[in-house]
Chain A
Amino acid sequence: MIKSVLKTFFYIFLIVTVFVLNLYFSYLLPYPFENINLVIVFLIILLSFYGTGSIVWLAFLAGILMDLYSELSFGIFTISLTISFLLVYWLYYEFFANKSIWALATMTLLEVIIFRIFYTILIIFSNTKIKATLFVYYGWEILLTTSLSFLLYFILEKTFTKFRLIK
Chain B
Amino acid sequence: MANKSKTKTFFTIFFVIIFVIVFNHFHLLNFIEKPFIAVIDWSLKPVNNVKTYFKKSKQVLTEEDKNTLEQLKQQNQVALTNIKLLNEENDELKKELNFFLENDYEHIGAIVLSRTINPLGTTLMIDKGSKNGISLDNPVVVGGGILIGRITKVEDDRSVVRLINDNSSAIGATIMNGERSIGLVEGGYGLGVRMNYIPQNEIVTPGDTIISSGLTAGIPRGLIIGNIEVVDKQPHEPFQQAVITPAADLGYINLVAVIIPKKS
Q: Which A residues contact B (CB, under 8 angstroms)? A: 16, 19-20, 22-24, 26-28, 31, 35, 53, 56, 60, 64-66, 68-72, 74-75, 77-79, 82-83, 86, 90, 123, 128-131, 133-134, 136-138, 141
Contacts and interface: CB of A to CB of B under 8 A. Distances in A.
A24 B9 contact: no
A77 B120 contact: no
18 contacts: A16-B36, A27-B114, A28-B51, A53-B9, A56-B9, A56-B13, A68-B37, A71-B121, A75-B20, A79-B17, A82-B13, A86-B9, A86-B13, A129-B167, A131-B188, A134-B120, A137-B119, A138-B119
Given A69-B125, A123-B120, A128-B120, A28 B17 contact: no
Given A16-B39, A16-B40, A71 B13 contact: no
A11 B9 CA distance: 20
Interface stretch (B42-50, B171-179, B235-243): B42-50
A68 B119 CA distance: 14
B51 A72 contact: no
Given A68-B36, A69-B116, A131 B167 contact: yes
B191 A133 contact: yes
B51 to A, nearest CB: 6
Interface string B191-217: 100000000000000000000000000
A39 B119 CA distance: 14
A19 B160 CA distance: 18
A19 B43 CA distance: 11
Contact of B21 (A16, A74, A138): A74
A133 B188 contact: yes
A-B complex: 7 closest residue pairs judged by Cβ atoms: A75-B21, A71-B160, A71-B153, A70-B118, A27-B115, A20-B43, A23-B114
Contacts of A26: 114-115, 117
B123 interface: yes
A60 B16 contact: yes
Contacts of A60: 13, 16-17
Contacts of A28: 47, 50-51, 54
A134 B25 contact: no
Nearest to A69: B117
B245 interface: no
A66 to B, nearest CB: 5
Contacts of A123: 120
A129 to B, nearest CB: 6
B232 interface: no
A20 B113 CA distance: 11
A136 B43 CA distance: 30
Interface string B13-25: 1001100110011
Contacts of A74: 21, 24-25
Given A60-B17, A71-B118, 13 more contacts: A24-B114, A26-B114, A28-B51, A60-B16, A69-B40, A70-B118, A71-B121, A71-B162, A75-B24, A78-B20, A83-B13, A133-B189, A137-B189
A152 to B, nearest CB: 21
A90 B116 CA distance: 30
A134 B54 CA distance: 28
Interface in B83-102: none
Contacts of A141: 119
Contacts of A68: 33, 36-37, 40
B9 to A, nearest CB: 7
Which of A20, A56, A65, A77 lies at the interface centre, i.e. has the most chain B CB atoms within 10 A of its CB? A20
A164 B207 CA distance: 60
A30 to B, nearest CB: 8
A66 B16 contact: no
A145 B16 CA distance: 28
Contacts of B190: 31
Given A19-B40, A68-B36, A75-B21, A35 B119 contact: yes
